[in-house]
Amino acid sequence: MGSLGSSTISSMNMAKQAATTVGAKNGAVAVADQQKVEGPRTMNCSSYTFHMPLHYPRYKKADYESMPEWRVDCLLREYGLPVDGELDSKRKFAMGAFLWPDQY
């Protein structure tokens, strides 16, 4: 099917069905209503990609040094930067990723 993804193809099929049942003029409204009923689609979190959240973390070096492991993991995961290993190595990685060189 070329470069069209499965979600594009299913949207096109829904639009065709809506156009034939409701009429070409109101087809877009029917598709929008049908998508509201289905609900939001969930993303697969098993693959890691870079994410740019709205805000850049504003922690200081002391914050990273005292941060619990679960918080470091959440912070790194939020930016698509999963790191395995000891807590100390995770903290150093987070400081290297989010602090300017003169801050650490």
Which tens digits make up the pLDDT trace of 66-92? 999 999 999 999 888 888 999 999 999
pLDDT, mean of residues 34-46: 51
Closest CA to 56 of 82, 77, 75, 83: 75
For the stretch 11-31, pLDDT in tens is: 555 555 554 554 444 544 544
CA-to-CA dists, residue 12 to 2, 8, 65, 95, angstroms? 14, 6, 51, 46
Side chain identity at 102, as an amino acid letter?
A: D
Is the pLDDT at 40 greater than 80? The verdict is no
* CA-closest candidate to residue 58, choices 74, 73, 81, 75: 75
Give this prediction's pTM.
0.49
Q: Is the pLDDT of residue 98 over 70?
A: yes
Domain boundaries, the chain: 6-38, 61-103
